[in-house]
Amino acid sequence: MTKKRRNNGRNKSNRGLVRRVHCVFSNKLIPKDKAIKKYTVKNIIESSGLRDFQDACVYEFYSLPKIYAKNYYSIEAAIHNKIVRVRSKERRKIRSSTKKILGNSL
């Protein structure tokens, strides 16, 4: 039987079991090495309320705190919500980051 991917869609290498994490969308438990990971950094205050906050702020140069979150997505949820895209058979063999190779075509 032919293999679709050389790593079977995982980054497990020589480990037997990998701990599971929850998908953000579906709350499904998926292996951490198989999950699609996105690290997000957001301001606590949205851009619409930022100007009001700066006008009301006592300090002249106040750096706003940020929210740091690492989100895990299952393959199904990531494809459905367009976080990642399905690639052709030839492009699947490219192992480096798609942003570096394809540029802004995605």
User: What integer pLDDT is reported at residue 58 of this predicted model?
Assistant: 86
Structural domains of the chain, ranges and CATH numbers in brackets: 20-105 (3.30.1740.20)
User: What integer pLDDT is reported at residue 60 of this predicted model?
Assistant: 82
User: What integer pLDDT is reported at residue 29 of this predicted model?
Assistant: 98
DSSP-assigned letters across all residues of the chain: ---S-TTTT---TT-S---EEE-TTT--EEETTTSEEEEEEEESS-HHHHHHHHHH-SSSS-PPPEEEEEEEE-HHHHHHTTSS----HHHHT--S-HHHHHGGG-
Low-confidence ranges of the chain (pLDDT < 70): 97-106
User: What integer pLDDT is reported at residue 48 of this predicted model?
Assistant: 86
